[in-house]
Structure 1
Amino acid sequence: MDEIKFHTNLVVEPILVDEEQIRRTLEQWQTSQDTLGSALGGGDDDMGDLDVSAGDEEGGTTDAGIDAKGDDTPVVKFINKVLIDAIRKGASDIHFEPYEDDYRVRLRIDGLLKNVAKAPVKLNQRIAARLKVMAQLDIAEK
């Protein structure tokens, strides 16, 4: 019980409960989690299948990753997938890290940083701009 209290920062109060009631409650919780996962975009945990290079031609796309028609580009889909995956996995932090050769995405889950995706370094500015737009920041500022 001390460990539960430590990890949740909640007061734990032990009570006696019928085993069948626990089973029903766990089934309801599992059903709600499955419903949430479906609502957030399915159960596909693999972000490697996203085509982050599509829509990369000059002229048709703004820096924020949205084309002139307002449709989602691969950068928008990539970031949305990362956010949904982070929610589903219960991540406390999301790290978007630009490097020389690629753009690494890591999630902090249970105190550990785990690599979840990589994007081409050429999308560095588009990813940063999209995140700034989502955070309602000025995309012109560095």
Structure 2
Amino acid sequence: MTTRTTLLFDSPFLLGFDQTRALIDRAAKAANEGYPPYNVEQRGDRDVRITLAVAGFTPEDLAITLEGRQMTIVGKKEAPKEAGGDSAFLHRGIAARGFTRSFVLADGLEVAGARLEHGLLHVDLTRPEDAAVIRRIPITAG
């Protein structure tokens, strides 16, 4: 997928922005995924919560990994077994398929924790306060 934004990074005046271009491409690909639905909410000045609708999944069915700035949430669920005897599903609307959903995190954003509650997976992110760093630069005589 080539977009106007990624074409901008092909300019000979923007050297060394390959990682930024790759980041934009990954974010665009992730935005096109539709399952499972999710919310992203700002919670205060430094906290963000991502909530995914994962009805029917258990904590054992879910995995969250962080590689560089890309957080990936994977759900693997075995297909539900048909009930024995004379019962059968007349309608099966609760999805039980596996999924992979990726999010690209901004610099400094850290995963604070994750909780599965009432069919919703909450992933809390935080940006710790920056400690003031003062670095003295030595001056040499020449």
TM-score by length of 1: 0.31
Q: Between Structure 1 and Structure 2, which shows a larger proportion of strand residues?
A: 2
TM-score by length of 2: 0.31
Max Rg structure: 2
Q: Between Structure 1 and Structure 2, which shows a larger proportion of helix residues?
A: 1
- More contact order relative to length (CA 8 Å, sep ≥ 6): 2
